[in-house]
Amino acid sequence: MAAVFPLTGVIRPYAWGSRTALAELQGRPSPSDTPEAELWLGAHPGDPSTIDGVSLATLIENDPKGQLGTEVADEFGVRLPYLMKVLAAAAPLSLQAHPDADYAKIAWAAQEADPDAPKNYTDAFHKPEMLVALTPFEALCGFRDPVESAAVLESFGIERLGPVVAALRTGVTGLSTAVRTLLTWPADDRAALVEEVVAAGTSPLATSIAGFYPGDPGVLVALLLNHVRLEPGEAIWMPAGNLHAYLSGLGVEIMAASDNVLRGGLTPKRVDVDELLRVLRFEVLEDPILPATPVSPAVVTWKVPVREFALFKYELGTSTPPLSLPPTGPRIVLGTAGDVYVAEAVDGTPVEVTPGMAAYIPAETGAATAAGLGEIFVAAVAS
């Protein structure tokens, strides 16, 4: 029977996660015993959410058209095409990028056909993603003007960085050379190089990142990117090939449901420089912040050119009437402030959504509304 259901997400305890942010959002004791990095809300096989103890992935597999709707099931198969997260970064995440849809499909097939191939891919899908800040949030997103980056690296007064500075001075055409040179810097000189950069004292960003990842050449690659500071409600968009890294803060993230990540540093995990360079887009990102688009006086969205997902923010005040949610497809509702009730439009038993809690609306439920006092984010398949 169609309805709205409480959805239980899964918290992933990566080392860079916060011991306070997710706990405080959900009203649990803080600090938590271990770092809490991401709250996953979706049906990704890595950690599917549950409804009354049953995996959302299983529910979709057993009834794809009822859960997803005919149109979504026909287009994406037996899978929820998006994954929603609450991300809580207390330390910088890895420098990373994601392949586009065509390349992901080809690379995955080639990897599966060759048992000796490097294991860079976990599936055949792309992973464009967007993040909306819930607190002040810092990130690195896309390449800035390489001539500006050249001036920063030159300010360190380190002679052996000369070839990197020269490449950057040529503009966008030199970005690939600069990134490759830094990521393949001789291993026996990396620690000394980063120490000299920090000792120069001209880059607080380099000093901060090096405190977490001493001796990692990704510290210098980070200086080639836009350093973005988001206020709550501001968003950044990371399409395929965009080199990025989250630094600190709490935010709502939504992405195509893939786990394909190519890393370029600031991590103990595997880095494949050649493969990363194949997927990177060496272009300047002039303005990394994605503006919100009003939908109604109480609702905004952020327009991105993908079919897998759309994200909406609803703000319900004391005089706000019940608001209609996106009317079709599978929807996930995340509470971020106050106390909101989500229900079918007709004769539905409401599900209470408080901060850090979520509700799931199958396609077969149809129209649904939100009422109460607070803030929610709603994930849906783009129309």
- Binding site membership for Zn(2+): which residues? 96, 98, 129, 244
Q: Is the peptide bond before 217 cis (omega within 30 degrees of 0)?
A: no
Contact status, residue 223 vs residue 206, Cβ threshold 8 Å: yes
Terminal C-alpha separation, the chain? 25
Q: Kindly state the tokens that stand for 75.
A: 């287009």
Q: Kindly state the tokens that stand for 285.
A: 């990102």
- Please tell me whether residue 102 adopts helix, strand or coil conformation: helix
Alpha-carbon gap, residue 50 to 46, rounded angstroms? 13
Contact partners, residue 63, CB within 8 Å, separation at least 6: none
Kindly report the number of other CB atoms within 10 A of residue 324's CB atom.
14
DSSP annotation of 233: T
Alpha-carbon gap, residue 298 to 225, rounded angstroms? 34
Alpha-carbon gap, residue 366 to 317, rounded angstroms? 25
Alpha-carbon gap, residue 113 to 100, rounded angstroms? 20
Residues flagged as binding site: 96, 98, 129, 244
As annotated, the active-site residues are 263
